[in-house]
Structure 1
């Protein structure tokens, strides 16, 4: 029962405190999955996040489903999704009328503005860690080229990020395959020389 309780508590927390939608929830999910409960490594979380962004649907729900499935299979996925979504749904239904009545209130506006810097910092920290990971894996030159392409295609040309992620995944695969090919060729030549001797 303990893994189910941990999934329920962890994803309930991310659902309740995830102000600002899916992207702002990702650092919270990472905290629960990587740092608190150690369901996966930072590297694995980054890989899953990159792949999840290529699929349709809300990112936080997809992450909850995958992590729950990884921890306890299908039932784990169900528990993670339910506990992540349910608190927000209950709060939305309960408070929607009240918030709608006071939508022009400076107090409600101030509450939203008060949370915004924290969300901004969490997203900036996550972006920095992704840049560091990319720099270590690709090197500065490729990382800067991919970043420049992202800036051109996403905010300027308004291309969906999922399309760019798929293109980058394929590019990374081809780069990795190219790096391996010469090593394999030299190994084959060495083997042939050894056999001829």
Structure 2
């Protein structure tokens, strides 16, 4: 696992502030925005590291909108980075929520206020679709087409038909991967 470069606090703050500002739809809708900031824009993490963090964050209790920024901030800038990332991502939510609740309570019967919330749903759907395709491509390259499809079908059936929490499935997969890891490591010979 590579170690990301130390991020300046200001860059960390603005990256997660943007995520908090544009993360309409809640925690899951913020995941592509976090990936855009930490993997694509700033290259603090690789795609593989981001996927690992996402898997572990989904397994833990609490909102993913603060778990991921908290861990990523800690990972790239220590305890101060954790605090900065969490504050930056929740600050827009706190300010906006208070302002919108005041407006909504005053204008709750106006049709365009109701329509405004509905208009965001298709955009969030497209963002989640893009993230799904990114994960599908990574899974297909790592495990192959057949194994990836079979795992997706089994996981979908367990989640939607049986009612098992996704975190439990991810936990079992991580535990299984630990049990099945190779007992010896292939080390490259140094010249």
Name the TM-score, length of structure 2 as normaliser. Answer: 0.86
What is the CA-CA distance between 1:174 and the residue it aligns to?
4.1
Residue deviations 1:45-97 (CA, integer Å, cap 9, x gap): 11110111111111121110111112210001001100110121011112202
CA contact (8 A) 1:24 1:122 kept: yes
Q: What residue is the counterpart of 2:125 in the other structure?
A: 120
RMSD over aligned CA atoms reads 1.8
Aligned residue number for residue 192 of structure 1: none
Using the TM superposition, give the Cα deviation of residue 9 of structure 1 relative to its aligned residue in structure 2, in angstroms: 0.7
Residues 23-32 or 111-120, more deviating: 111-120
- How far does residue 130 in structure 1 lie from its aligned partner after superposition? 0.8
The answer to whether the 8 A contact 1:3-1:71 is kept is no
Q: CA deviation at 1:118?
A: 1.3
TM-score (structure 1 length as normaliser): 0.84
Q: Match for 1:145 among 143, 150, 153?
A: 150
Corresponding position: 1:74 with 2:82? no
The unaligned stretches of length 5 or more in structure 2 are: 1-6, 187-191
The answer to which structure has the higher helix fraction is 1
Higher alpha-carbon Rg: 1
Count of residue pairs the alignment pairs up: 179
Select 1:35's aligned residue among 29, 40, 44.
40
Q: Distance in 1 between matches of 2:115 and 2:67?
A: 31
The structural deviation recorded for 1:104 is 3.8
Look up the match of 1:165: 170
Deviation readout 1:121-154 (Å, 9 max, x if unpaired): 1101101111111112222222122111111111
SS of the residue corresponding to residue 44 of structure 1 reads: helix
1:60 corresponding residue in structure 2:
65
Among residues 102, 107, 120, which one is paired with 2:112 in the alignment? 107
